[in-house]
Structure 1
Amino acid sequence: MAKIVLVYASMTGNTEEIADAVAEGIQETGVSVDIRQVLDVNAAELAEYEAILLGAYTWGDGELPDEFLDFYDDLDQLDLSDKKGAVFGSCDSSYPHYGAAVDILTEKLRERGCDIVREGLKIELAPSNEEKEQCRQFGRQFVSSLQIAK
Structure 2
Amino acid sequence: MSKVAIVFWSGTGNTEAMAELVAEGVQSAGGEASLIQAVEFSPDELDAYDAFAFGCPAMGSEELESEEFEPMWDAVEPELSGRKVALFGSYDWADGEWMDLWRERTEAAGITVAETVIAKNYPDDEASDACRALGASLV
TM-score norm. by structure 2 comes to 0.85
Q: Which residue matches 1:126?
A: 122
Deviating more after overlay: 108-117 vs 25-34: 108-117
User: Are 1:56 and 1:65, in contact at CA under 8 Å, matched by a contact in 2?
Assistant: yes
User: Are 1:50 and 1:82, in contact at CA under 8 Å, matched by a contact in 2?
Assistant: no
Q: Which residue matches 1:98?
A: 96
Deviating more after overlay: 105-114 vs 55-64: 105-114
Q: In the TM superposition, what is the alpha-carbon distance from 1:69 to its structure 2 partner?
A: 2.0
Q: Residues 9-88 of structure 1: matches in 2 within 5 Å?
A: 9-66=9-66, 67-76=68-77, 78-88=78-88
Runs of at least 5 residues in structure 2 that lack an aligned partner in the other structure: none
Structure 1 runs (4+) deviating above 4 angstroms are none
Number of residue-to-residue matches in the alignment: 138
Tell me, in whole angstroms, the C-alpha distance in 1 between the residues paired with 2:55 and 2:33.
Answer: 14
Runs of at least 5 residues in structure 1 that lack an aligned partner in the other structure: 144-150
User: Are 1:4 and 1:50, in contact at CA under 8 Å, matched by a contact in 2?
Assistant: yes
Tell me, in whole angstroms, the C-alpha distance in 2 between the residues paired with 1:126 and 1:17.
Answer: 7
Q: In the TM superposition, what is the alpha-carbon distance from 1:59 to its structure 2 partner?
A: 0.4
The correspondence for 2:134, drawn from 132, 138, 141, is: 138
Q: In the TM superposition, what is the alpha-carbon distance from 1:106 to its structure 2 partner?
A: 2.8
User: Are 1:6 and 1:36, in contact at CA under 8 Å, matched by a contact in 2?
Assistant: yes
> Could you give the per-residue CA deviations for residues 80-112 of structure 1, whole angstroms, max 9, x where no partner exists?
2331111000012x23x6240x33443344344
Question: What code does the residue aligned with 1:68 have?
Answer: F
Tell me, in whole angstroms, the C-alpha distance in 1 between the residues paired with 2:44 and 2:83.
Answer: 13
